[in-house]
A and B are shown apart, each in its own frame.
Chain A
Amino acid sequence: MLKLIMRLLAVTGLMVALTAPTTLGFDFSELEKSITEFTLKNGLKFIVMERHEAPVATFVTLANVGTVDDPKGYTGLAHMFEHMAFKGTSTLGSKDIEKELQLIAVEDSLFMILRAERTKGPAVDSVRLAQLEKAYEEAREASYQFVEPNQFGNVVDREGGIGLNAGTGADYTVYFMSFPSNRLELWMALESERFYDPVLREMYKERDVVAEERRMRTDSNPFGRLIEEFLAVAFKAHPYGVAGVGHMSDIQYYSRQEAKVFFDKYYGPSNLTIAIVGDVKTPEVQKLAEKYFGRIKARPAPERIATEEPEQIGERRVVLEDPSQPIYSVGWHVPELAHPDRAALEALVDHLGQGRTSALYKNLVKEKKIAMQVGAFVGFPGDKYPNMVLMYAMASSGHTNDEIETEMFAEVEKVQQELLSQEEVSKIKARARASLINQLGSNQGLAFQLAGFQALWGDWRRLFKELDRINAVTAQDVQRVAQKYLTKKNRVVGMVNTVQS
């Protein structure tokens, strides 16, 4: 009883703390004013935020293309192209570009002939296949003799660039790096060139690298194995159902030509958004952007995916038997980011599975101690199309997925039946506000957010309106979306059950 009273006191104290400071609110509009945007004639949008505390700047290029856009039979192609975007250009990475391109063409042609033979199935001529393999191998080695490997990365490194990398998500692909701010023009030259005149050199070796990435992230990791199976069960029609790294056989299948076609379709300037945050002058950025990125010819923006995931007609389950320790996950289909229910869903997952005071953490971790880790989030595997709320847990040693499931469903039922208290709703809003303010601290974090909001909403200013969206959520909204979406019929369960090998 004493504990209960103490907790009540703590919560009351909290309310006082919460009601007082709303007048002290941070003025996002000042920050918003320091951000400008411009669009080149070819449709490429730039968002620039000047920040002069240190002479550095972060550059983020977001291509509105993700693994969701992989053509059937070519899974992993968006990710493969991301790798190829580091292979240099005609002017960067070659000892003799004319000769190299001729040999690349030979290599490509041989690969296509070889591929045709490989896919003949029972009709394959093994002698011819062996000859072709050898010829292709030779052609490949021949084209590589003119390669100066990793020149793109070398230039970035030696000029003081840091954090050079890229990532391919379900919805989009981001390329990023930071430079001392006087290297603005260098970045303009490098980045425009790789999306203007990329040479997809060493592609057939890079496929092996991607295959290793797949082995590392998916095949040899229990989480990777589960995610791939889970998605395949959760989405039967929509391409969200294919894990982004691609199937091993597809990775070995696609040709450079297909990668180039993919590039032409999805890397047109109107499908790119660039965010720059740091010690730059916007007019200078605009002048250089026109000079360098203005070279890229306008291309039509690709279509959105038309396939819609049909409504689920009953619970789906996938169970992996695996030597590793148990992992539990459950997801429910929910609408895309732009849907009016999204803010309430974000509040719902915050309440259920984010932080030490979340419902799942309190029940499964602190009180029952049946899980060592729990979480919940929305936007799995992407945001652009209807996606999922996902909850997951890793059982404590000696406990099972069945116990986890029982308690998780009990928490879901609770939020469906009982309204959140006013304190709980206030907490969600306070956390959202603090989290946004903290994100503003880093150049890179801010550049990601600006480019991401621009791509997903068509307007980076939505970043600052997110709080309004969350602040408008009521306890009734949270209950309503929990009742509407978190149903048995609409859920997908995926787990790893431990079996000794």
Chain B
Amino acid sequence: MKRLFAYSWVVACAWWLGAVTSAAQDVDKLKYPALNKLEIPKVEKITLNNGLRLYLLEDKTLPVLNVSVRINCGSHLEPIEKIGLAEICGTVMRTGGTKKWTGDQIDELLEGVGGSVETSIGVESGTARVNVLTEYLDLGLEVLAEVLRRPVFDQDKIDLAKVQERSSIARRNDDPQEVVFREFPKIIYGANSPFARHTEYATINAITREDLLTFHGAYFHPQNVQMAVWGDFQKQDLLAKIESHFGDWPREGEPIPALPKVAYDYKSKVYFIDKPDVNQSNIVIGHIGGLVTDPDYAARIVMNNVLGGSFGSRLFNSVRSREGLAYAVFGVYSANIAYPGIFYNFASTKSATTGKTVQEIIKEIRRMQIDPPTEDEMRMGKDGYLNSFVFRFDTRAEVVTRLMNYDFYGLPEDFLFKEKENVEKVTPDAVLAAAKGNLHPDALQIVVVGKGADFEMPLDQLGFGAVDTVDITIPSAEVKKELAVTADNVKRGQELLEKTVQAHGGLANFKKVKSISVKGTLLYSVRGTEIPIAVEWVQVFPDKSKSVMSMMGQSMMEIRNGGTGWKTDQATMQLAPMTEKDIVENDKDWNRNTIHILSAVDKPYYQAVFDGAGEFAGTPVSYVALLDQQGNPLCRLAISDKSSELIGKSYYDETPLGAGTIDESLSSFAVIEGVKVAMTTVRNLNGEKLNEVRIAEFTINGAVAPEAFDKPQ
């Protein structure tokens, strides 16, 4: 302070002082008139004979009709290997058209009148929303009925939804906030929990049209449907129309399984996700939360407002206003109706104040258990809730959809009023007790996404244990599913393969193959155009091969001769000896070759394991996984159930365009020397087209010059 007074001469330039004014206002002295009476609009509940529940609220203010439908289903019902099924079902119900209209026609019909019908499926429920001017009420209701009852799930729109979903996956690490809010729930609920899990390429790829039809068929029945309608309508007219669109919807289907239970162990842990392209850390700290039906829920509402729910909360005051550490900061002990919420505290701060911000937040969490709310804080946290209660009723939409949701969960209609009564009774001690009972400042999980190199302190010095570095690299489409190597599946796999050999010309013909020569064109897909490249490949069993790719006078070569080989180096375009890794990769390629696989079926160098049934390019297939002698996956074959032909092959590979699953689709079969071979191969990498090989000449046991495999000059 001494130094401060040493500079006190500068007060002379206080341009500011004149600003104090005489007409200043004291807002605490204001008296408010009584609030005009709130007329809570009455919602009419009607149940159709088939169990469909209606909630009607007329409102003539604007010539608009709104419908919100809640369907009892959700992504918690989808199998773990098909995460995204419910979401895609929710999308394609609407985009994929119905018995009466294609999806594109519905788009034209609705946009032509400025209306909308949209559907989606979330974790706990499905939703459909209609918004049309009342003059188009008939159109809105008919589209709704079509979409809910008679979706056809057009394959093209399924493909579109999958492209979009894959694109979202590719983008999911671009925004650090998205990363932290995705990863934190996985830590709390578990990575496989429906409350936290998310799609991957493999789970999206696994979804078929059949799955969507089955999902829709299982849950979209009238007894699972609630429909809230508000806006400008005539009740009798509306009821007659709803009856005509939905009255004959038969009640059927099984009861909906309950949500899974959440088990949580309180523990301390620090998770770090490195993102070198940002200069700000995104931090979430917390643990499991609670239910709205918990006895101290009302005290927690006040606790939230005091801790981090608003301007003037403790976190806002300290982390933002006092320390200037963050723009975005909040904390909330969230509560759901059907499963526990999460206690989470968030802030984003520059890299160099990451540790400090974590400590500041934890300090405030601890203080909630020590310092009861002050009088001012009670006014903000409790009076604020009570005074703003009227906003729960300021739109028709809120009133009617809240009632529908309460009904869905079996909460009493006056639940909100009970909540208010309970908040009125909350004391500072009750808030303190709620903080003591629910917050666990010594067992917090901390997730930090940021540029680790610029942090001011190592995260393991936070006192919350060792740091777990989380790898958020997006997994390739490779199916992670455990392969069941049972005696049954091995037997079945071998049998399927033998049938395939029969379908492709029989083992005797395969045994005669000593060499293969192939000439053709490879169409390389780049930026939407296909560049043709001439390819030639010669293979002499077992270990001599040569392949050449050429385009516009340039060529690239790969020669293999027993234990040695040469290949064109991509940087210098000169031939160089193969490295050990090149040899291994070359062997793998050969071991995945169709003729090699099929001709060895009697003395296999692999183990064939049946790996389930499915659909490949629209054809029902059985999958056979081939494992090498160490039990590592070699490739996965798709064998047509109808023809026993090998029509697909997939394997993991590292390509110059990134690592991932290569899917080969085999077609245009021709019979050469009694052996049926595919003349066209289309390759996808992670679901995107990579290239296509069209074979023009396929020769078996042709003349091959012995010097072809010598070291080239």
Interface residues of A (CB under 8 A from B): 3, 6-7, 10-11, 13-14, 17-18, 21, 24, 26, 52-56, 86, 89-92, 97-98, 101-102, 104-106, 108-110, 113, 134-135, 138-139, 142, 144, 149-162, 164, 178, 180-183, 185-186, 189-190, 192-193, 196-197, 199, 202, 205-213, 215-216, 219-222, 257, 260, 279, 292, 295, 322-325, 355-357, 365-366, 368-370, 372, 394-400, 402-403, 406, 423, 426-427, 430-435, 437-438, 440-443, 501
Contacts and interface: CB of A to CB of B under 8 A. Distances in A.
24 contacts: A17-B139, A54-B394, A105-B15, A108-B13, A109-B14, A154-B312, A158-B380, A159-B383, A180-B390, A182-B33, A208-B324, A208-B325, A213-B327, A356-B111, A366-B160, A372-B164, A372-B168, A398-B686, A430-B113, A433-B114, A434-B132, A437-B63, A437-B64, A441-B61
Nearest to B162: A369
B80 interface: no
B602 interface: no
Contacts of A221: 175
Q: Which 10 A-B pairs have the closest CB atoms?
A: A160-B387, A434-B114, A153-B311, A109-B10, A208-B324, A398-B688, A105-B14, A397-B170, A324-B174, A220-B278
Given A102-B11, A205-B322, 15 more contacts: A14-B109, A18-B113, A54-B393, A55-B35, A106-B7, A149-B317, A157-B380, A210-B327, A257-B15, A357-B107, A366-B160, A394-B167, A396-B167, A400-B528, A437-B62
Contact of A90 (B20, B114, B168, B350): B20
B531 interface: no
Contact of A17 (B104, B136, B379): B136
Interface string B670-698: 00000000000000001111000000000
Nearest to B393: A54
Given A157-B311, A159-B383, A183-B32, A149 B322 contact: yes
A440 to B, nearest CB: 6
Given A89-B24, A90-B24, A396-B167, A162 B388 contact: yes
Contacts of B527: 399-400, 402-403
A475 to B, nearest CB: 16
Interface in B26-46: 26-27, 30, 32-38
A40 B400 CA distance: 41
Interface in B277-309: 277-280, 305
Which of A54, A91, A155, A438 has its CB near the most chain B CB atoms (within 10 A)?
A54
Contacts of B497: none
Contacts of A110: 7, 10
A220 to B, nearest CB: 4
Interface in B50-108: 61-64, 101-102, 104-105, 107-108
Nearest to A402: B527
A160 B317 contact: no
Nearest to A164: B311
A383 B326 CA distance: 31
B21 interface: yes
Contact of A18 (B112, B312, B380): B112
Nearest to B164: A372
Contacts of B37: 55
Interface string B364-393: 000000000000100110011011111101
Contact of A396 (B6, B38, B163, B379): B163
A209 B318 CA distance: 12
Contacts of A139: 4, 7
A215 B280 contact: yes
A85 to B, nearest CB: 12
Contacts of B124: none
Contacts of B279: 215, 219-220
A152 B391 CA distance: 20
A182 B24 contact: no
Contacts of B203: none
A185 B320 CA distance: 30
B390 A56 contact: yes
A215 B380 CA distance: 30
B349 interface: yes
B668 interface: no
B311 A150 contact: yes
Contacts of A206: 321, 324
A114 to B, nearest CB: 11
B316 interface: yes
B23 interface: yes
Contacts of A395: 167
A292 B23 CA distance: 9
A220 B11 CA distance: 41
A122 B703 CA distance: 79
Contacts of A208: 324-325
B388 A134 contact: no
B328 interface: yes
Contacts of B617: none
Contacts of A279: 36
Nearest to A443: B394
B135 A24 contact: yes
B25 interface: yes
Contacts of A6: 102, 105
Interface in B155-198: 159-160, 163-164, 166-171, 174-177
Contacts of A400: 527-528
A441 B62 contact: yes
Nearest to A17: B113
Given A295-B23, A440-B62, A209 B388 contact: no
A155 B115 contact: no
